[in-house]
Amino acid sequence: MTTDFSLLKKLFCIHSKSGREGKIRKFIWNWIKQNVPGAKIVCDKPGNLYVTKGKSETYPCIVAHMDQVQERHSKDFIAYEAEDIIIGFSPKRKEQQGLGADDKVGLWIGLMCLQKFDCLKLAFFVEEEVGCRGSDKADMDFFNDCRFVIEPDRREHEDLITQIGWTSLCSDDFLKEIGYKKFGYKETDGMMTDIETLKDNGLAVSCINLSCGYYKPHTDQEFVYKPAVSNCLAFVEHIIETCTKVYPHVDDTAYLERHNYYDTVYDDLYSEIYDLLTNNPSMSFGEVEAMFKDWYGSDKINKGDLENNYELAREDILFWQEQENKKTTKVLTK
C-alpha cells in the first residue's frame, strides 16, 4: 500500500518557529474537526493541544511538538517530493530550505493514527526546541489513563530511545512486547525531548522516542526519506494494535540521582559551553567532551546532555553573530 504524504507536505508548508505555533495549531484543530469529527480537542494556556478519540478505560498515546528551529520560509516555499525524498525549496531563490520535519513528521504520524484507530490520545506541545517549555507545563492528568506514550521525534531511521541522560523511559516488559527488531530499530540513548520532561513531571507509564525518517534536522539541508517515515508509522501502528495493557514504569532512583547531580555539576552546563565556544569558536564537540571529562570525570558526563547543550550553544552564538552582522551592515550602508 502506498503512503499518502499530502498532509505531511501541507504541515511542512506551515512555518512554526518556537513561540509562533498559532498557524499550525489552528490548521491541526481544523483538520481534526473535519476529518475526525468525534475527537475531543482541548488547548491549554501555554498553547499545547490535547486530543482524545473514543471511550476506553485506557488509551495508547502519541506525543509530538509543533515548533521548528528554522527562522524562516520564503513566501514561495514548497515541499518538493522527488521519488523517495521530500525537501523544502524556494523556486524564486533557487535554494533548499528547512522543512521543520523535526517534528512535523511526528505530528503527521499522530494524525494518521487518529484517523485509523477508534481509541487514541494525542498531545502536541509548543516550544520543545527552546527547552521543552510546553511539555514542562503539560496537564499531567491527561496521561493518567494512558497505556504508554510514543514520541516520533528522532532523526534518521533506526533509533529507539529508551533512556535520556539519567532518565530511564520504559519497562523491559514493554520493550519485549513491541517487537522493535522486526522494524529495524535498535535501543540507544537519546537527547532532551518532551517525553523526558513528562517523565520528570511524574509520567508513570513506559514511553519511547523513535527515529521517524528526517535527516539533517535544524538545517536548511533537512530532508525526509519516505520509506523510513512509512516504516515508523507502521511500527507505531503495530504497537497500538499489539500493546493493549498498561505498561507501568517509574524510576525514582534515576530521577533523584539525575536531579541531585544537576544541582551540583550541571546547573551551568550550557553557560560553560557557551563561554568555551565564544572564546574558541572552532572547538569541536569531541574537544568539548574531552575537556568536560577531564574536569568532572568520564563517569560523570552524559554524552547526550553534553551534545544537546553544545548544539544549543553553537546555534545561539551563530544567531547573535548574524544579528550583529546585520546591525553592522545597516550602519555601513547609511
Q: DSSP 3-state assignment of 223?
A: strand
* Position 256 confidence tier, pLDDT thresholds 50, 70, 90: very low
* Position 300 confidence tier, pLDDT thresholds 50, 70, 90: low
What's 90's DSSP letter? E
pTM listed for this prediction: 0.77
Domain boundaries, the chain: 6-251, 265-324
**Lowest-confidence range among 23-27, 38-42, 45-49, 274-278?**
274-278
pLDDT in tens, 131-183: 999 999 999 999 999 999 999 999 999 999 999 887 899 999 999 999 999 99
> Across the strands, what pairs with 80?
87
Distance CA 56, CA 91 (A): 48
Write down the CATH superfamily of domain 6-251.
Zn peptidases (3.40.630.10)
The pLDDT assigned to 263 comes to 45
pLDDT in tens, 61-117: 999 999 999 988 999 999 999 899 999 999 999 999 999 999 999 999 999 999 999
Neighbouring CB atoms inside 10 A of 257's CB total 13
**Side chain identity at residue 177, one-letter code:** E
Please name which of 116, 87, 121, 118 lies closest in space to residue 101, comparing C-alpha atoms.
87
